[in-house]
Amino acid sequence: MILKFRPFLTAGFFVALLIITGCSSNKLNPNLGPDERLKIAKALLDKGDYLRAKSQFTILTMNYPGTKIADKAQYYLGESHFGSKEYILAASEFEKLIRSYSNSDFVDDAQFKLGMCYYELSPNYQLDQKYTLKAIAEFQKFLEEYSTSDLRDEVEKKLSECRDKLARKEFGNAEIYRKMGYYNAAVIYYDLVLANYYDTPYAEKALYNKGVCLEKVEKWEEAEKVFEVFMAKYPKSHYVGSVKSELRSLQNKITQEKKN
């Protein structure tokens, strides 16, 4: 089918068309049909020409909503922004697909890439982690809705990385307070690690340092219980020797305290 210009076509169509034709000496035919335009746009995307691909997919999403190619164009528009590292724009396009084309075959991929947008925006663990939290939420939603997907392993890996980053942030806060001698404050942050990120690499040291901090503030019995839990949970830890020594010391202190 040859697409002819019609009055309802928006100004954005013509702007996008000018961008496309200006980017190459091989000008595209303005009368391309949607299927042919989609094929060309996908080829541009595949070769990394994201600017021209975005222009073509924008034309398709603007002028052919509700057609058989609409969801594809919408998904690949998001992919074009993602390839350009425009992650906020990409997230918006993937969300639009999920919202507007809920029966599309691309929905699970869009959900995955939505999580990846926020994953890519996630900063160093010392900074604000709002995008890390968004990534976790989107990855968890993916696992809930597409548990049998081939992407499951990749999503679980990215989710684990995000949780490790949050655990590192809380653990880092605890360490700052511990080194400053604010042991009760440190315990609060160690508890956050243990409660929310018990399955991360930071849980083991958080539990050990919690016991150390409790001993520092002379909460002997609480410290003893923490170290006993540590021995049961991490019997092969390299902290085991230190924990055994701490337990002997604590038991002596508790016995002496009771005598007094």
pLDDT by residue for the chain (260 residues), tens only, comes to: 333 333 334 444 443 444 444 444 346 677 789 999 999 999 999 999 999 999 999 999 999 998 999 999 999 999 999 999 999 999 999 999 999 999 999 999 999 999 999 999 999 999 999 999 999 999 999 999 999 999 999 999 999 999 999 999 999 999 999 999 999 999 999 999 999 999 999 999 999 999 999 999 999 999 999 999 999 999 999 999 999 999 999 988 888 877 76
Element (H, E) at 13: helix 11-22
In angstroms, rounded to a whole number, what is the distance separating the alpha carbons of residues 53 and 23? 11
Confidence (pLDDT) at 27? 62
Q: State the Rg of the chain over Cα.
A: 28
User: Which residue is associated with the tokens 């020409």?
Assistant: 49
Do 122 and 161 meet the contact criterion of CB atoms below 8 Å apart?
Answer: no
Confidence (pLDDT) at 20? 45
Q: Residue 163: inside a domain, yes or no? A: no
Q: Residue 29: inside a domain, yes or no? A: yes
CA 3, 6, 12, 14 torsion-angle sign: positive
In angstroms, rounded to a whole number, what is the distance separating the alpha carbons of residues 83 and 46? 10
Confidence (pLDDT) at 107? 97
Do 163 and 197 meet the contact criterion of CB atoms below 8 Å apart?
Answer: yes
How long, in residues, is the chain?
260
Do 235 and 199 meet the contact criterion of CB atoms below 8 Å apart?
Answer: no
Residues 6 or more apart in contact with residue 149 via CB below 8 angstroms: 108, 112, 142, 155
What tokens were used for 161? 């990385």
Confidence (pLDDT) at 235? 95
Confidence (pLDDT) at 16? 42
Q: Residue 167: inside a domain, yes or no? A: no
Confidence (pLDDT) at 257? 76
CATH code assigned at 80: 1.25.40.10
Confidence (pLDDT) at 1? 36
Of the candidates 143, 161, 157, the residue with the CA atom closest to the CA atom of residue 201: 161
What's the domain count of the chain? Answer: 1
Q: Residue 89: inside a domain, yes or no? A: yes
Q: How far is CA 248 from CA 223, 224, 240, in A?
A: 12, 9, 12
Confidence (pLDDT) at 259? 74
Q: Residue 177: inside a domain, yes or no? A: no
In angstroms, rounded to a whole number, what is the distance separating the alpha carbons of residues 202 and 189? 12
Q: Residue 62: inside a domain, yes or no? A: yes
Q: Residue 8: inside a domain, yes or no? A: yes
Residue 231: count other Cβ atoms within 10 Å of its Cβ.
Answer: 14
Do 201 and 213 meet the contact criterion of CB atoms below 8 Å apart?
Answer: no
Task: Kindly report whether the global pTM for this prediction surpasses the value 0.85.
Answer: no
In terms of residue numbers, what domain contains 89?
Answer: 1-100
Q: Residue 61: inside a domain, yes or no? A: yes
